[in-house]
Copies of this chain bind each other. A is one copy, B any other.
Amino acid sequence: MDERTLLGQLLPLLHCGTDTVLGPGDDCAAVDTGSPELLLAAADHLIAGIHYLRDTTPPELAGAKLFNRNASDIAAMGGTPRWALLSLAANGCGNEELLAFAKGAALAAEHCGATLIGGDVAALPTPGLSASLTILGTVKKEEMICRKGANDGDLLCVTGCIGNAFHSGHHLTFLPRLKEGRFLAEHHLASAMMDISDGLLLDAARLAEMSCVQILLDPAKVPLRKDAVLPEALSDGEDYELLFTVPPEKLAELAGKMDFTVIGEIRSGTPGVCDPGGNNLLTGKTGYEHGKY
């Protein structure tokens, strides 16, 4: 079963209370704690042999990556990361490796102004290292940006550049786009937003689906990382950039404020991602498949 199918079957089982402002299905869930700000929450894994190569990756970098990919989900809502809990399950790892992994996560959190407040350590029955981190953040209700919200005529934008994230080392060294997410949120500039973790096309398709719109994406306009090539760059994943939509009249407010590129636009229509000629881009491999469960 793939993640999409599993979630499709699981989500109808979840009965969210009235204090749940945004349930599963976006970059973060959002709940009302009675504070002036909403609480954002997300969880993500980092598993040796799946998300990084244990033999060649310093554990500090792996731990930092785990925190930062979670913080990227907070950025995608326009929020601020505040607290995190780290769950480590391991077998055959030395003291140094687990400590270094946790230290990497703790320092990455500190770098973002967040704190590692708890977690768990447990044994796996067979050799390996599987880590999961839950991140908590905050955002004002009126500033939160969701995957849903893109409208006909909005421009599709992306921060930074795309592709070649693995060989360039970007997947280990990126910093979450927190400043950009906050700017867009604070100034109410983005109608919809998410982060790009599983590949630009796959993630764009998710935004299109949640917003019930068609995306016209021009591959020629996609800013490529050094040595990245099309079409692989559109589906490789691990970019951790922000994909967002902006009403055209607000574009001028963004100019010079952040590193971003307009790569397409939004049209009313059946959810999907097409090129400017109307050709479906969601054929073949569109993004990162998470292996067999």
Contacts of A95 in B (CB 8 A): 1, 5-6, 9
Which segment, of A46-54, A163-171, A211-219, faces chain B? A46-54
Asked if A33 contacts B37 (CB within 8 A), the reply is yes
Q: What does the 1/0 interface line of A131-142 toward B look like (CB < 8 Å)?
A: 010101010000
- The 8 A CB mask of A110-142 against B (1 = contact, 0 = none) is 100101111111111110101010101010000
Contact between B82 and A31 (Cβ–Cβ < 8 Å)?
yes
Give A22's nearest chain B residue, CB to CB.
B117
Copies per complex of this chain = 2
Query: A44 at interface (Cβ–Cβ under 8 A)?
Result: yes
A85 contacts B37, C-beta separation under 8 Å: no
Given contacts A41-B136, A49-B125, A293-B93, contact A117 B31 (CB under 8 A): yes
A42 at the interface (CB under 8 A from B): yes
Query: A residues within 8 Å of B by Cβ?
Result: 1, 3, 5-7, 9-10, 13-17, 19-20, 23-24, 28-29, 31, 33-37, 39, 41-45, 47-51, 82-83, 85-95, 98-99, 102-103, 106, 110, 113, 115-126, 128, 130, 132, 134, 136, 138, 290-293
